[in-house]
Chains A and B, each alone.
Chain A
């Protein structure tokens, strides 16, 4: 366990090296959040309630998705695919610890960095520009951070599966881009899932992608509390277990037939 904590720490520290890049990223995320919020305001000009969200709820939902964008990291994560293409994956697999555990620890370290250096500043921007209400202290925060952690693990499981297809195909990125474009919508990142037609909404809520964005964002807004919070977090946990188990199976299958590139 200490090993994984160390791995996570290193991943956290690695990000500290890119100070200017991360500051540029923060500015970019903040501007996007601002623009997205303006469109939400225009939507609510015509009516006071959309699918159970009032204007404050929809604004804070949108800012919550924007603030956690880098923690959950839905797009453009090909770290594992790169090691498979280069052949470095062999030394990772040969190491005397869990391959999946190593990458999960690394990803959580990365996510922790972005929570502190990206997510919290963006929440501060949202509060100061749009007066977004914060979750209650300490229970609301605890629930938000807890569901955000589960969301990150679920997202990691999904991203890992996409990356692992590189063992069989040279097109992991092509597939990944398609998957990630779909997930952007199906997770509730673009619009809250209740905005969708009832049938589509119900299907989306049952899929693992809702666990990645919709659930933690609704917790931030305060729409999920008590029993419904426990049910949603339970579903998140179930998806985490299922996705990680799937990853483990795929890793096992891949190592049986691994064909190392690079010689």
Chain B
């Protein structure tokens, strides 16, 4: 796959096919996952901790609905549906992007050199260096809320809605994943400002748990047209609930999540390759 190789600027790679990459991914990540699973108590604690972290966000929503019947025009199960989409795609993205999580260390210590001399794209190697198996708690919790909310609302799973469900989870995961990659790639310029990316990853996960109707109008345009957080769950959920955009955007906008996801991938890919090209290793 030329596409994957082109992302990391490394030595020329032997032409590998997608199935070969998949096999390689599982082999590399499998070793890592097995080592994590060796420490059973640690692993269990991390699973519980990660599930609890997201429950805190859900707790906030539940507490608010003790006092109100609708938040910006959305009922509790409707907000829960939004939350289910955003928390499960965030959790899957976070698990997949685990290799990018502590990536800045490779840049600070110069160990990224090693990645560059291996006969595989730098992006693929970083991607395959870790998988957050312990995030399974978060993923499960998010999907559970999604299921309960859909059942509560009595969503009629017609083929188009079912397809929307899958496409939304895939697009949302891709959008969050791209933010994690951009965050890691920012280390090529400075490792001091990494925290700003949290605005889009953790901040994105926080704000997408609520309907975009709570946002001020400029912020709402920002998360629709600039940083496509609203496509993680808001527009697809409007479609699933059979609603139009309250601000009057045409109905087909609700179907654009995959387009937003592709745009984010392209952006992340550009930032990553620019960063890799800029990398100069450390002194000493």
Contact = CB atoms under 8 A, between A and B. Distances in A.
15 contacts: A20-B192, A21-B195, A28-B195, A38-B214, A39-B210, A39-B214, A42-B214, A43-B71, A46-B68, A177-B49, A177-B50, A185-B59, A190-B56, A191-B64, A197-B66
Contacts of B207: 35
Contact of A181 (B41, B42, B53, B67): B53
A262 interface: no
Contacts of A39: 64, 210, 214
B206 interface: yes
B280 interface: no
Given A42-B72, A47-B67, A181 B199 contact: no
A171 B216 contact: no
Interface of B: 39, 41-42, 44-46, 48-50, 52-53, 55-56, 59-60, 63-64, 66-72, 190, 192-196, 198-199, 203, 206-207, 210, 213-216, 219
B45 A175 contact: yes
Contacts of A181: 49, 52-53, 55-56
Contacts of A51: 67
Contacts of B194: 21, 24
Given A46-B70, A47-B68, A170-B42, A178 B52 contact: yes
Given A27-B199, A47-B67, 10 more contacts: A24-B193, A32-B199, A35-B206, A43-B71, A171-B39, A174-B42, A174-B44, A182-B52, A190-B60, A195-B67
Nearest to B211: A42
A260 interface: no
Q: Mostly helix, strand, loop or mixed at chain B's interface?
A: helix
B210 A50 contact: no
Given A28-B198, A31-B199, A174 B66 contact: no
B196 A171 contact: no
User: Looking at chain A, what size class is its interface with the partner chain?
Assistant: 35 or more
Interface in A20-77: 20-21, 23-25, 27-28, 31-32, 35, 38-39, 41-43, 45-47, 50-51
Nearest to B70: A46
A191 B63 contact: yes
A28 B196 CA distance: 5
Contacts of A137: none
Nearest to A45: B72
Contacts of B66: 195, 197
Given A31-B203, A190-B59, A43 B67 contact: yes
Contacts of A38: 214-216, 219
A42 B39 CA distance: 44
B234 to A, nearest CB: 14
A39 B74 CA distance: 13
Contact of B45 (A43, A45, A50, A178): A178
A196 interface: yes
B193 A21 contact: yes
A23 B48 CA distance: 33
Contact of B196 (A27, A175, A190): A27
B68 to A, nearest CB: 4
A174 B108 CA distance: 26
B177 to A, nearest CB: 20
Nearest to A36: B206
A18 B210 CA distance: 34
Contacts of A195: 63-64, 66-67
